[in-house]
């Protein structure tokens, strides 16, 4: 196994570009661990609190899945402190294989991957307008990063780490608030390019401002911005959160892939 990625890895990930768009992005960055045979297995771990990404081809053989399991164990990832993002077939193998060794792994999150080739304008009306986050919005954007991570309950970091991420998001020019008629920032959304795709994220509405269609309008407008820039908008959702999935589908997002997090 090599400890670097090259054009072979990007080529094989292009076949799973929806479900593994994040992996395609992070293999080119700084990681605590990157292993690849450039054909059947990629393992990538950025750092805690983020999950370990494991890619295997569709219909991977038992030997290939066993090799992935052993590699994960050799790297110390089966210690109960790490989570994994992977396809369902590999997840089932890991869960059963771990059980045979007295380890308890289970699916913690079911993930859907959507894209939006033909955005549909919201039929519902709402008040307010989109606002691009600027330097003066830094403190409030840090709040939204913290609220978003607290709401999903995973990948939680310190306020200082959120500040770094918020600063980078503002510099990218691709992060937005929805401000209601009173000028209050009530929802957030951003995007970043991943090859020919635009990954939509940080979709969050303040608890007291929900069910007013703010996120629906904001995500639609951010989707249009990304599409106008020449990218295919895509996003991940928690498959068990029916309300958000229905919101995305109403504005034109189509289910393209599935994966899960185990831990």
Give the pLDDT score at 22: 87
Give the pLDDT score at 208: 96
Query: Beta strands of 206-245 (E only): which ranges?
Result: 232-238
Rounded Cα–Cα distance for residues 46 and 25 (Å): 11
At 133-172, the pLDDT tens digits run 999 999 999 999 999 998 877 777 899 999 999 999 999 9
0.85 exceeded by the pTM? no
Cα three-residue angle 262-39-237, rounded to 5 degrees: 35
Ordered DSSP codes for 176-202? EEEE-TTS-EEEEEEEEEETTEEEEEE
At 95-106, the pLDDT tens digits run 999 999 999 999
Taking residues 234-246, report their average pLDDT.
85
Query: How many CB atoms neighbour CB 6 within 10 A?
Result: 12
Burial class (CB in 10 A: 0-12, 13-18, 19+), 138: middle
Task: Sketch out the chain's domains with CATH numbers.
Answer: 7-105 (no CATH), 129-258 (3.40.630.30)
């Amino acid at each position: 196994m090599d400890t670097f990625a090259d054009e072979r890895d990007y080529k094989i990930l292009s076949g799973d570009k929806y479900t593994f768009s994040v992996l395609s992005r992070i293999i080119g960055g700084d990681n605590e661990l990157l292993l690849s045979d450039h054909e059947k297995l990629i393992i990538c771990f950025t750092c805690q609190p983020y999950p370990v990404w494991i890619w295997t081809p569709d219909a991977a053989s038992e030997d290939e899945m066993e090799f992935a399991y052993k590699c994960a164990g050799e790297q110390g990832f089966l210690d109960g402190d790490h989570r994994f993002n992977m396809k369902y077939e590999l997840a089932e193998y890991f869960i059963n294989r771990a059980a045979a060794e007295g380890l308890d792994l289970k699916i913690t999150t079911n993930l859907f991957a959507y894209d939006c080739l033909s955005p549909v304008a919201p039929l519902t009306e709402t008040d307010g307008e989109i606002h691009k986050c600027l330097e003066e919005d830094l403190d409030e954007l840090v709040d939204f990063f913290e609220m978003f991570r607290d709401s999903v309950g995973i990948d939680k970091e310190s306020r200082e780490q959120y500040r770094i991420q918020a600063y980078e998001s503002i510099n990218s020019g691709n992060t937005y608030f929805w401000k209601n008629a009173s000028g209050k920032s009530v929802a957030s959304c951003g995007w970043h390019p991943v090859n020919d795709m635009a990954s939509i994220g940080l979709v969050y509405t303040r608890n007291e401002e929900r069910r007013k269609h703010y996120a629906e309008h904001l995500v639609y407008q951010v989707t249009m911005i990304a599409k106008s820039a020449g990218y295919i908008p895509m996003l991940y959702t928690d498959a068990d959160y029916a309300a958000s999935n229905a919101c995305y589908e109403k504005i034109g997002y189509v289910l393209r892939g599935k994966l899960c997090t185990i831990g």
